[in-house]
Structure 1
């Protein structure tokens, strides 16, 4: 499966990439929302994992934009963030997010969630 990871932390992007590639996924990394939108010109994800707090374009703004692009309108989009408040989760849902995971993530929980939302 093609997965787009959007996070301003190089360490988190690497950790996610290693975890996902180890089980056979193809990963494309973006450092923020604007970078992610640019990567979509050449990469066709089947699932998107995004951070919430990023420079230039945050996760909520990104999800709203993705829901208006034909290529990504119906894709599963997961937030992976340190934010766990019900208020932020609700904002994520309203923007169009499919699910919410809190950092630090558990590898099995991440893979199971991806499997669940992508099938």
Structure 2
């Protein structure tokens, strides 16, 4: 990278930053859900929130673990947020949360567990397993949209990465 390519002001900022450019990127979200309907709905919601997200989906905890391992061993950016359903075949959301907390504890990955089950009982189980938040799956799409939007936006702000925002048409 040369001064000619960046321009004088940009070059100075580049040097002050220690010669490293901090580029905005998409948030990396792993969504673990065995219901095709909820997975499709989540994909639509993520496509409309303020921050740009790259969505990776898994249908159960076992597939999610495989994707986590692949990401960890590769040069790709690791996940910024994991959002998982509670009840799934093979490995459920609680077991997945415990797995992530035991193997990737130093990465502080925000984990959200979702379920249509009663929030008071299941929410405590999720929290005890290491989840940052529990969302009770609502029946109304607007409630789900607001809950998912808040969760992703909150965690993106907390993790402090430069996540690219969507352009809003006026």
Q: Please give the TM-score of this superposition, normalised by the length of structure 1.
A: 0.89
Structure 2 match to 1:99: 133
Greater share of residues in strand = 1
Partner secondary structure for residue 103 of structure 2: coil
Would you identify which runs of 4 or more consecutive aligned residues in structure 1 move more than 4 Å?
A: none
Report which of the two structures shows the higher radius of gyration computed on alpha carbons.
2
CA RMSD, 1 decimal: 1.8
Structure 1: give runs of 5+ residues left out of the alignment.
none
Query: What does residue 5 of structure 1 align with?
Result: 31
Higher helix share: 2
1:67 counterpart residue number:
101
Corresponding residue to 2:58 among 26, 30, 36:
30
Contact 1:89 1:100 in 2 (8 A): yes
- For residues 68 and 109 of structure 1, the distance between their equivalents in structure 2, rounded to whole angstroms, comes to 27
Count of equivalent residues: 119
The structural deviation recorded for 1:92 is 0.6
Q: Give the deviation of 1:116 after TM superposition.
A: 1.6
TM superposition score normalised by structure 2: 0.64
